[in-house]
Structure 1
Amino acid sequence: MAAHVDPLVVGRVIGDVVDLFVPTVAMSVRFGTKDLTNGCEIKPSIAADTPAVQIAGRANDLFTLIMTDPDAPSPSEPSMREWLHWLVVNIPGGTDPSQGELVVPYMGPRPPVGIHRYVMVVFQQKARMTAPPALAPGAEAARVGFTTRAFADRHDLGLPVAAMYFNAQKEPANRRRHY
């Protein structure tokens, strides 16, 4: 299991976002045809749409998925740490986030400057969570200053069971993928 944690230590995900943990649940993340590996670089245009995420586990297990940017607005001055990009609760094991309850809709990477880390963390819930009301579109203030640790503490989630991260930086306007 240590091999799964090492990239999270090197990428400072452990420390900046979560405490040291031992991964116990498999998670896979894919943007289009690109499988995510810890520390890989993804162009924001490729990550604009919600990724395909699969969380292992038994059907009666429930999970919470959180995606944040701990480097907002810039890696050297992360004054908005963490920026919440996605939050889904009550995800049944062996499924994907679409089977859970959406609290904060997915927002793709929008790094204004520098290389940002985008961290996806999975927690196993002890019981079904009463989901907070979904974030209204345009309610950006609720995304700023989110703290994964504080959310986990408030909802008695304990340590994560899985985490992955990728890097992204602003694309030049002439290199963006067009739909």
Structure 2
Amino acid sequence: MAASIDPLVVGRVIGDVVDMYVPSVTMNVYFGSKHVTNGCDIKPSIASNPPRVTISGHPHQLYTLVMTDPDAPSPSEPSMREWVHWIVTDIPGGTGPTQGNLSCFFLII
């Protein structure tokens, strides 16, 4: 049986954008009814609306969620890397980013 390799390693997100890490909480992301996992392709029609995100953890601990594009504007020409779309801070564990503070917002058109 072949070993499974994390799609974030294959895609060079881990090792290029962030260092290797061990998750301390679980995060779930949904676009509509579609559960998004590492390496999952999403059609633009699904991603036109904000995702629903839940973060496990203790309610008295605060988390930060960062949405970046590590290979903007394209994987073959990552000239603007790393592009930050938004950052949400102070998210209580067991909730989602709607309970946090939107720190910045950048829009790519």
TM-score (norm 2): 0.88
Distance 2:45 2:82 in 1: 21
Aligned 8 A contact 2:88 2:97 in 1: yes
For residues 83-98 of structure 1, the aligned pairs below 5 Å read 83-98=83-98
Could you tell me whether the CA contact under 8 Å between 2:30 and 2:51 is conserved in 1?
A: yes
Counterpart for residue 35 of structure 1: 35
Deviation string, structure 1 residues 57-93 (Cα, Å, up to 9, x no partner): 0000100000111111121121100111221000000
Structure 1 residue ranges without an equivalent (≥5): 111-179
In the TM superposition, residue 5 of structure 1 has moved relative to its aligned partner by 7.4
SS of structure 1 residue aligned to 2:58: coil
The TM-score, its normalising length taken from structure 1, stands at 0.55
How many residue pairs are counted as aligned between the two chains?
107
**Structure 2 unpaired stretches of 5+:** none
Partner Cα distance (1:82, 1:17) in 2 = 8
| 1:9 counterpart residue number | 9
Task: Name the CA distance, whole Å, in 1 between partners of 2:64 and 2:102.
Answer: 10
Is the contact between residue 6 and residue 38 of structure 2 (CA under 8 Å) also seen in structure 1?
no
**Could you tell me whether the CA contact under 8 Å between 1:54 and 1:96 is conserved in 2?**
yes
Deviation, 1:19, is 0.3
RMSD after superposition:
2.1
> Which residue in 2 is equivalent to 1:20?
20
Output one character per residue of 1:76-127: Cα deviation in whole Å (capped at 9) or x when no partner: 12110011122100000000000000112485x87xxxxxxxxxxxxxxxxx
CA distance in 2, matches of 1:63, 1:8: 21
Q: Does the alignment pair 1:101 with 2:101?
A: yes
Between 1 and 2, higher relative CO (CA 8 Å, sep ≥ 6) is seen in 1
Richer in helix (by share): 1
Deviation >6 Å, runs of 4+: none
Percent identical: 64
Mapping of 1:152-167 within 5 angstroms? none
Describe the shift of the 1:106–1:45 C-alpha distance in structure 2 as closer, same or farther (beyond 3 A): farther
The residue that corresponds to 1:54 in the other structure is 54
